[in-house]
Structure 1
Amino acid sequence: MNAYDTPANSAGAAPASATEGEADPKTVAEVLGSVHTTNFPDLLRQLGGSLLVSTYQAGKLVILRPDGASINTHFRNFMRPMGMAADNQRLALGTAIEIAEFRNMPAVAKRLQDPPRHDAVYMARRVHISGAIDIHEMAWDKHGDLWFVNTLFSCLCTLDSKSSFVPRWRPRCVSHYAPEDRCHLNGLAMRDGRPRYLTALGESNEPQGWRVNKRDGGVLFDMAGDKVITRGLSMPHSPRWYDNRLWVLESGRGKLVTIDPKTGQKTDFASVPGFARGLDFLGPIAFIGLSQLRESNAFTDIEITDDNKDRQSGVWAVHIGTGKTVALLKFTGGVQEIFAVQALSGVLFPEIVHEGELLASTYALPDEALREVGFTQAPPPTSGYAAPS
């Protein structure tokens, strides 16, 4: 049976394979314990990709990659990881006070394991200090510039070499730049290689004024027309333009919805059992991040917490033709909240390196320089040279 057609509730469940890393085994088990439907590994293989999941609550970037009959949940520690942008050549990750950038160096894979099985190795290349601005979603435009949502200052930004951030757009409701989280601007969707649609939890111009009406004060903006497309949304997140449709997660209701960008009409497409935040696509599958929401969380007095006491944390796979859940991975330990879900198309078993000896002894050189590398004696077996992809 095609994995797309296997309903999650009849696929059975399998534990994720042992989580890799150097943390205390008890801590790892608590943080990243998970189970998944048996079809999840084959689904990723069939789609030809893997998933990155950021959880600021647990301080982890989790890589979900198929490994035989299991999902290998591989983790890397970061300080409050949230928004990210990634493809098969590069990765950008927003954290507590910085944006970390990585480049894929596939030639490094042979140094990781014998026999090698990694098909991508994202090596840290640079870090931009942004300050604590509560970075939310981010994406590259068609020119390779990185755009990111600066939630604390209620604006959409890019980078330069001198500034903490370069404001490029803010909603009309926000009169000035200030670190006051006035509208909780959070989501960013690209269309035709340009930033286009953004979500916010309110239209306030007061410090944290969006909190007054969390339940249905959310809005969807069209940056191109500098207008509001839809109001009355329940904590919208993760707008995406995909398959010629505008998708939004209405997190407060646990819904994946489509919105007509011309009329603003909203249509419920699928339901998930949790606070939906983090969305990406591979082929006909939408991968949706779910959070439990802790009792102390500021987002609890909303519909999803009223109607669904048994909220889940994990990644749900929904078919965009039928709206049905076809697979899922559920965290059973300390991962209670997910922020972003990013699909890596064409990459099945990636690694991310941001510290340690491998980073110290691997050198990225331009192709023309690599042709002139030579040694008077054999190089140390612990070093390597490669050109970034």
Structure 2
Amino acid sequence: MAREKDSGVTEVRFHHSDSLPAVLGQAECSLLVSTYQAGQLVAVGVSEERVNFSFHRFDQAMGVAVGADQVAVGARGQVWFLREHSEIAPQLEPKGRHDRCLLARSSTVTGGIQGHELAWGAPGGADNERPLWIVNTLFSCLATIHPDYNFVPQWRPPFISELAAEDRCHLNGMAMRDGAPAFVTVMARTNETGGWRKLPKNSGAVLDVATGEPVTTGLTMPHSPRWHDGSLFVLNSGLGRLERVDPSNGSREVVALLPGYARGLAFHRGLAFVGLSRIRETAVFGEVPIAEFHDQLKCGVGVIDMSTGATVATLEFATGVEEIFDVQAVPQARCLALGGSVGDGDEVWVVPAPG
């Protein structure tokens, strides 16, 4: 299906393993996948044993936080909030396909803080609401949002001497434990403006938020730390690995090898959903080990059985999407629809790739 370059249409071609519809169906979840390069939030679900997509434009879509009745999406200069409106799902065309629906209803302006991952915290405060935590990469801190401010700084690594818009260590990922940030990933422990860019690519670390001390070091451009089922996991992105970390001694165990730059991680019902990206040919990415296999790298999602480390399903975008930032599972959603206007954007055509 060909489309003119200037027609306002983005064509997305995809492959998926034969197992993907059954795996998602058995897990009883849909996926939310963000891609800042294409500026889209993508819902991936199953209807009539076929994979279905719902695309919604968010400029530079990055971190995604899934709550009980709302989803937060980090985008250029703001955070969008999508509310649950599943009462209208049966009315959407084609009727009978969707069982849940999220509509964009509001946003909070943060300014250009280079917000990366997002996560909902435990209820608290006078209103007993769940705070939204943001990895504020530009200011090298963790922050929350407030209606009167762009952001409220809450924590920064002890080696960061002051709040400054200088992306000193490229703080990019956050693991929640018991409703609060417990671990973060940094590209390097440096206090210099943009200092992480000047150091070797294996200068990455996972830090303990409570102490500020490194839990494990020597990671190659790490992302997406997660605390799951009593264990700490991290994506050693430059090596294409999902790894389990022992916080007591910093040792790491490879859980799975992945054919892409791994970024974005969600766990659900014994499965790990991992975002995969092709590497941009820039100085930042060109020196990482998996760049050697540039032509073989995939963009999409790999599904890992955590009991065996085996890849049990895959989704690959052949065209239209080059980079994945985040992947989140939406429980009890067979086929999720996205809607609500957030501005003009290209129409998206989704077609299976040949072969």
TM-score normalised by L of structure 2: 0.90
Deviates more, 1:155-164 or 1:105-114: 105-114
1:28 aligns with 2:14: no
Q: Which of 172, 185, 201 is residue 215 of structure 1 equivalent to? A: 201
In the alignment, which residue of structure 2 is the partner of 1:62? Answer: 42
1:95 aligns with 2:75: yes
In the alignment, which residue of structure 2 is the partner of 1:351? Answer: 337
1:141 aligns with 2:121: yes
In the alignment, which residue of structure 2 is the partner of 1:164? Answer: 150
Q: Contact between 1:273 and 1:308, CA under 8 Å: does it hold in 2?
A: no
State the shift of 1:354 in Å. Answer: 2.2
Distance 1:125 1:297, change over 3 A: farther
Residue aligned with 1:263, SS: coil
In the alignment, which residue of structure 2 is the partner of 1:198? Answer: 184
In the alignment, which residue of structure 1 is the partner of 2:300? Answer: 314
State the shift of 1:125 in Å. Answer: 2.4
**Greater CA radius of gyration, 1 or 2?**
1
1:333 aligns with 2:313: no
Q: Which has the higher contact order (CA 8 A, sep 6+)?
A: 2
Q: Contact between 2:90 and 2:99, CA under 8 Å: does it hold in 1?
A: no
In the alignment, which residue of structure 1 is the partner of 2:137? Answer: 151
1:280 aligns with 2:266: yes
Q: Which of 26, 29, 37 is residue 46 of structure 1 equivalent to? A: 26
Q: Name the amino acid aligned to 1:333.
A: T
Q: Name the amino acid aligned to 1:107.
A: E
Identity %: 41
1:248 aligns with 2:256: no
Residue aligned with 1:38, SS: coil
Q: Name the amino acid aligned to 2:192.
A: E
Q: Deviations over 1:246-295 (max 9, x none)?
A: 11000010000010122211111110011000000111110110000121
Distance 1:270 1:25, change over 3 A: farther
Q: Name the amino acid aligned to 1:28.
A: T
In the alignment, which residue of structure 2 is the partner of 1:298? Answer: 284
Size of the alignment, in residue pairs? 333
1:186 aligns with 2:172: yes
Q: Which of 73, 76, 80 is residue 56 of structure 2 equivalent to? A: 76
Distance 1:114 1:295, change over 3 A: closer
Q: Name the amino acid aligned to 1:299.
A: F
Q: Contact between 1:237 and 1:277, CA under 8 Å: does it hold in 2?
A: yes
Q: Deviations over 1:94-113 (max 9, x none)?
A: 00110001110211224323
Q: Return the alpha-carbon distance in structure 1 between the equivalents of residues 259 and 321 of structure 2.
A: 16
In the alignment, which residue of structure 2 is the partner of 1:106? Answer: 86
Q: Name the amino acid aligned to 2:139.
A: F
Deviates more, 1:69-78 or 1:147-156: 69-78
Deviates more, 1:312-321 or 1:64-73: 64-73
Q: Deviations over 1:337-357 (max 9, x none)?
A: 11000110111111222218x
TM-score normalised by L of structure 1: 0.82
Q: Return the alpha-carbon distance in structure 1 between the equivalents of residues 156 and 200 of structure 2.
A: 20
Residue aligned with 1:137, SS: strand
Return the structure number with greater strand share. 2
Q: Return the alpha-carbon distance in structure 1 between the equivalents of residues 288 and 110 of structure 2.
A: 32
Distance 1:69 1:171, change over 3 A: same
Unaligned 5+ residue runs, structure 1? Answer: 1-17, 357-389
Unaligned 5+ residue runs, structure 2? Answer: 124-129, 343-355
Q: Which of 106, 119, 122 is residue 99 of structure 2 equivalent to? A: 119
Deviates more, 1:40-49 or 1:60-69: 60-69
Deviates more, 1:149-158 or 1:59-68: 59-68
Q: Contact between 1:97 and 1:131, CA under 8 Å: does it hold in 2?
A: yes
Distance 1:25 1:61, change over 3 A: farther
